[in-house]
Structure 1
Amino acid sequence: MPKIDEGLAQHDDLISILIPLRNEERNVPGLVQSLKELHDQNIEVLFLDDHSSDQTYNLLTELTKDRKNFHVRKGKPLPANWVGKVHACHQLSALAKGDYLFL
C-alpha cells in the first residue's frame, strides 16, 4: 500500500480515538503498542474499561502512563434501558475533545 504524502497528512484538527474495552487483557498490550506507533501529534486516545473482571484496566493504566495524550477511564454503571457497548461509546464521546471522533 502506498504511503500518504507527508504534506497531505498534516492537519491542525484534534482527532479522538475512542476505545471501549471489556475483559480484553489479552489484547491490550498489542493494541497499546500499535497506538503508540502513531506519529500524529494531534491525537488523543481514550480508553474506557467497561467493568472488566480481568486485568484490562490495570494493564491499560500501566502501559499508557508514559503518554500524556492517552487517557484511561472506568465506565459508569449501566443505566436502565441502555446497552453496554452503546453506553460505553456514549461516555467516551462525552470525554472526547477532538474535532473528529473515531471508534
Structure 2
Amino acid sequence: MNHTVRPCCPSSHRPSRCRAGWWGSATRAWVIGWGLVAVAALCLLQAIPASAAPAPWYYWRSKVDGARVCAQTSPGPGWERDSPAYEGPGCQPRPKVIVVPMR
C-alpha cells in the first residue's frame, strides 16, 4: 500500500484529516459559489450598455443672435432647444422606407 500525504494544515499531518486539502470542502464550495455569483454579476454589467440607444439630435437657437446649430446636447447656457427630436444623425429626418410586396 502506497500512502501519499497531501499538503494540509501544518498542525495536522494525518492523511485522514488532509483529504480535503488546506481548505475544507464546505469552504471550497462557498468560494466557488461566490465566484459564480461574481461572474454572473460581471456578465450582467457588461450587457447594460448594449441596450442603450443613441441620443436624439436637436436644433438649438442662440439667445444672443438667433443662430441655429444642430447638436445632441445643449451647446451651453445661452442656447435653447428650437426643434423636436430628430432620430437621424445631424438633424436629418429618418429616411422613409416603402415596402412593396412581391406578387
TM-score (norm: length of structure 1): 0.21
Higher relative contact order (CA 8 A, sep 6+): 1
Higher strand fraction (1 or 2): 1
State the TM-score, normalized to the length of structure 2.
Answer: 0.21
From the CA coordinates, give the structure whose radius of gyration is larger: 2
